[in-house]
């Protein structure tokens, strides 16, 4: 009778252990009953108890249960090692494995090795990992796909990619997990094209990739901008009906945004049955990063209507879009959606906020955020240095750089990009040379093509065209279109048509589809009154079907961003805007202003030239702001192209006559007009 009761209670205990525990207290109650019945020798029951404890992340309690087991077998060791690794308790997992090898008469099996190897990978314990590989061969598991997958992960994480590939190639029967392991290894080391090639090999073997494989290979495509492969994977997923997983479709949206195909990103997004904040954030950031700020704002507002709370990355995308449009009011509204402490504690959010204020010309607010931030990493310092430099506060930017040194912060390449851009904006050639020299000599930062581009821009703007050309020749890498474009800009400024023609040949070789190069040469010819040659360039543009990028300006009024193009008549207040312009030009002429008609790039009558100049997008935007805002409001305009010389001179007078503060940010610098002067010091 007693034996039957014992069996009955043991059976009941097994049912209890088989059920899912919700708390450690329940596990302990079951453990007590196991001890009272004297069943702590039953390895099956103890194993179940261990798994339950580990699922609740109670690793310490699981270790105590294991220690009280008289004769633990390989299954108990494997359960505890696996649980410790799953709970990221890697040191204890390795210690337990060492204890097993010392005290037990049995050897590790094919379930032991993968988890101990994972612990070695995370701990960078190369010695133990290599020892395990030797033991794998000695015991006879060298053909086991799971053990070999563990070895691939170990070698990949520790930087031995060739060893990982050798192990992979020797697996006789590769499965999806082993393919995914080697693909992840290649992606981690930046060999993204090879990773995509391996994915093709996986499909050729007739295997069906899992969701994690798809996420990683889409990430590989996004890293190198491989749109063709991304589209092919998208097509394969649709044919194989693998588009149902939220993480995979979000990765697909992210891939298209990173490759610059927002139309396809939107198609995938619109087709999603389920959407979380991550996919909303991916689309918002994609629009912002691809020069479509208005669309980014629209998606953010759509997300708000769907009652999805924005995360850190959605906020970064929204602030980036506001920064591009100069939408200070909208950005301030968005800032209030998030707890203020998040901006001060989260370097990613804080950096976005500093960048936003700086690009809206509100330097004081940018600096205030920087001062109040509790966590300041190098990226945060770089943001405020770049912001100050961009707004013309170069001395303050140099001061923040000095502060970096005082707090022991090591500058990186982006720090010097900010400093060199500041030198360019202010025309500080000697300072630029000094920083360019010190970055490698003092701070061991190797100059990249971006740094050379900044120096070429600085020298070219200062009229040192020969020195800029010689610097390009001395570069350790091939000059790209940005570097040559910087030299071409200097040629335009100083009307060196001979050097400009040479530079243009380089640019056409690099970017034969880019109309901007042709337009800039045409501008140079026009400024030198070589009208026939300028017309030839324009004709060649037409013959090739190229069009000049139209000038476009944005201005925010009462939280709404208004867009203007040259000679725009689409705005509801067009009549009032042009009346205001006519009134302004009358006052300007009385103040001694004469339109600088050399900036009109066609050989037309003087009166018609003046008409073209009066309709530039930035003038329309300022006229609209003057009739739509109060006298105390700062007028903030953003333009996609460079502000022309005539508009620059006109705005100085407009700010003086209207007693209004006007800030215009073009694709090159800030122009802060106040009382008849400009922050750029007319150095452009």
Q: What is the 3-state secondary structure (H, E, C) of 372-396?
A: HCCCCCHHHHHHHHHHHHHCCCHHH
Q: Are 74 and 106 in contact (CB under 8 A)?
A: yes
DSSP secondary structure, 516-551, as one string: HHHHHHHHHHHHTT-HHHHHHHHHHHHHTT--PPPP
Q: Are 324 and 359 in contact (CB under 8 A)?
A: yes
pLDDT > 90: what percent of the chain? 56
Report the distance separating Cα 120 and Cα 129, nearest Å. Answer: 6
Contacts of 198 by beta carbon, 8 Å cutoff, 6+ apart: 179, 182, 183, 186
Please say if the pLDDT value at position 600 is more than 70: no
Question: What pLDDT does 563 receive?
Answer: 93
Q: Which has the higher per-residue pLDDT, 539 or 578?
A: 578
Q: What average pLDDT does the chain have?
A: 87
Report the distance separating Cα 162 and Cα 194, nearest Å. Answer: 13
Question: What pLDDT does 8 receive?
Answer: 61
Report the distance separating Cα 378 and Cα 404, nearest Å. Answer: 8
Report the distance separating Cα 267 and Cα 198, nearest Å. Answer: 27
Task: For 617-674, write each residue's pLDDT tens digit.
Answer: 999 999 999 999 998 999 999 998 888 777 888 888 899 999 999 999 987 678 888 8
pLDDT band at 1 (very low <50, low <70, confident <90, very high): very low
Q: What are the structure tokens assigned to 304, written together?
A: 């708000």
pLDDT > 70: what percent of the chain? 92
Q: Tell me, what DSSP letter sits at residue 571?
A: S
Average pLDDT over residues 479-500: 87
pLDDT band at 347 (very low <50, low <70, confident <90, very high): very high
pLDDT band at 602 (very low <50, low <70, confident <90, very high): very low
Question: What pLDDT does 610 receive?
Answer: 46
Q: What are the structure tokens assigned to 92, written together?
A: 């204890």
DSSP secondary structure, 5-42, as one string: HHHHHHHHHHHHHHSPPSSHHHHHHHHHHHHHTT-TT-
pLDDT band at 35 (very low <50, low <70, confident <90, very high): confident
Q: Range with the lowest mean pLDDT among 268-272, 283-287, 545-549?
A: 545-549
Question: What pLDDT does 613 receive?
Answer: 54
pLDDT band at 607 (very low <50, low <70, confident <90, very high): very low
Task: For 234-279, write each residue's pLDDT tens digit.
Answer: 999 999 888 778 999 999 999 999 999 999 999 999 999 899 999 9
Q: What are the structure tokens assigned to 178, written together?
A: 């082993």
Question: What pLDDT does 428 receive?
Answer: 94
pTM beyond 0.75, yes or no: yes
Task: For 504-516, write each residue's pLDDT tens digit.
Answer: 888 878 887 777 7
Which stretches of 427-514 are DSSP H helices? 429-441, 449-461, 465-474, 481-493, 497-510
Question: What pLDDT does 666 receive?
Answer: 85
Task: For 6-33, write each residue's pLDDT tens digit.
Answer: 556 666 666 666 666 777 877 787 788 7
Q: Range with the lowest mean pLDDT among 40-49, 212-221, 502-511?
A: 40-49
Q: Range with the lowest mean pLDDT among 109-118, 329-338, 607-616?
A: 607-616
Please say if the pLDDT value at position 547 is more than 50: yes
Q: Are 361 and 665 in contact (CB under 8 A)?
A: yes
Report the distance separating Cα 42 and Cα 45, nearest Å. Answer: 6
Question: What pLDDT does 412 receive?
Answer: 95
Please say if the pLDDT value at position 603 is more than 50: no
Q: Which has the higher per-residue pLDDT, 351 or 496?
A: 351
Average pLDDT over residues 325-340: 90
Q: Classify 617 as helix, strand or coil.
A: helix
Please say if the pLDDT value at position 608 is more than 50: no
């Amino acid at each position: 009778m007693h034996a039957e009761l014992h069996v009955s209670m043991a059976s009941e205990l097994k049912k209890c252990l088989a059920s899912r525990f919700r708390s450690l207290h329940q596990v302990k109650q079951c453990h007590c009953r196991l001890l009272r019945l004297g069943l702590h020798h039953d390895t099956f029951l103890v194993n179940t108890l261990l798994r339950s404890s580990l699922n609740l992340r109670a690793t310490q309690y699981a270790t105590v249960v294991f220690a009280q087991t008289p004769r633990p077998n390989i299954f108990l060791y494997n359960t505890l090692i696996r649980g410790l690794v799953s709970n990221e308790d890697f040191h204890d997992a390795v210690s337990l494995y060492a204890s097993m090898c010392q005290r037990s008469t049995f050897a590790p099996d094919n379930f032991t090795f993968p988890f101990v190897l994972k612990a070695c990978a995370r701990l960078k314990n190369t010695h133990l990992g290599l020892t395990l590989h030797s033991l794998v061969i000695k015991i006879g598991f060298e053909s086991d796909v799971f053990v070999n997958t563990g070895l691939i992960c170990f070698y990949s994480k520790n930087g031995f990619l060739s060893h990982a590939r050798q192990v992979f190639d020797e697996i006789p029967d590769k499965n999806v997990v082993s393919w995914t392991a080697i693909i992840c290894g290649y992606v981690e080391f930046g060999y993204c094209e090879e990773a995509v090639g391996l994915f093709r090999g996986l499909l050729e073997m007739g295997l069906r990739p899992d969701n994690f494989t798809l996420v990683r290979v889409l990430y590989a495509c996004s890293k190198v901008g491989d749109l063709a492969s991304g589209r092919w994977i998208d097509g394969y997923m649709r044919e194989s009906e693998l588009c149902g997983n939220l993480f995979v479709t979000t990765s697909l949206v992210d891939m298209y945004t990173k490759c610059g195909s927002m139309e396809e990103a939107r198609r995938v997004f619109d087709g999603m049955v389920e959407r979380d904040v991550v996919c909303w954030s991916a689309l918002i950031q994609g629009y912002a990063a691809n020069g479509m700020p208005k669309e980014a704002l629209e998606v953010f507002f759509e997300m708000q209507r769907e009652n999805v709370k924005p995360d850190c990355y959605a906020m970064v995308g929204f602030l980036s879009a506001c920064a591009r449009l100069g939408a200070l009011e909208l950005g301030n509204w968005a800032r209030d959606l998030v707890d203020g402490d998040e901006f001060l504690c989260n370097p990613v959010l804080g950096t976005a906020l500093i960048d936003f204020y700086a690009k809206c010309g509100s330097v004081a607010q940018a600096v205030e955020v920087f001062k109040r931030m509790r966590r300041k990493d190098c990226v945060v310092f770089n943001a405020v240095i770049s912001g100050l430099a961009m707004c013309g506060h170069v001395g303050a930017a140099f001061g923040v750089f000095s502060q970096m040194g005082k707090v022991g912060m090591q500058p990186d390449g982006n720090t010097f990009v900010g400093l060199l851009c500041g030198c360019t904006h202010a025309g500080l050639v000697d300072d630029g040379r000094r920083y360019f020299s010190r970055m490698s000599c003092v701070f061991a930062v190797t100059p990249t093509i971006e740094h050379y581009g900044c120096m070429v821009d600085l020298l070219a703007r200062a009229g040192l065209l020969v020195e800029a050309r010689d610097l390009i020749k001395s570069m350790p890498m091939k000059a790209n279109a940005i570097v040559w474009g910087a030299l071409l800009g200097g040629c335009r400024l100083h009307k060196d048509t001979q050097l400009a023609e040479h530079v243009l040949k380089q640019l056409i070789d690099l970017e034969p589809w880019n109309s901007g190069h042709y337009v800039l040469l045409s501008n140079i010819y026009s400024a030198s009154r070589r009208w026939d040659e300028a017309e030839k360039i324009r004709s060649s543009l037409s013959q090739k079907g190229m069009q000049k990028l139209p000038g476009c300006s944005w201005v925010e009024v009462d939280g709404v961003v208004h867009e203007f193009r040259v000679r725009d008549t689409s705005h509801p207040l067009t009549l009032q805007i042009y009346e205001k312009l006519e009134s302004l030009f009358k006052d300007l002429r009385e103040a001694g202003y004469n339109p600088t008609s050399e900036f009109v790039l066609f050989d037309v009558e003087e009166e018609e030239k003046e008409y073209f100049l009066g309709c530039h997008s930035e003038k329309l935007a300022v006229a609209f702001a003057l009739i739509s805002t109060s006298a105390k409001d700062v007028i903030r305009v953003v333009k996609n192209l460079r502000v022309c010389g005539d508009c620059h001179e006109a705005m100085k007078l407009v700010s003086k006559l209207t007693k209004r503060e006007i800030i215009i940010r073009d694709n090159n610098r800030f122009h802060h007009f106040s009382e008849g002067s400009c922050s750029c010091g007319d150095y452009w």
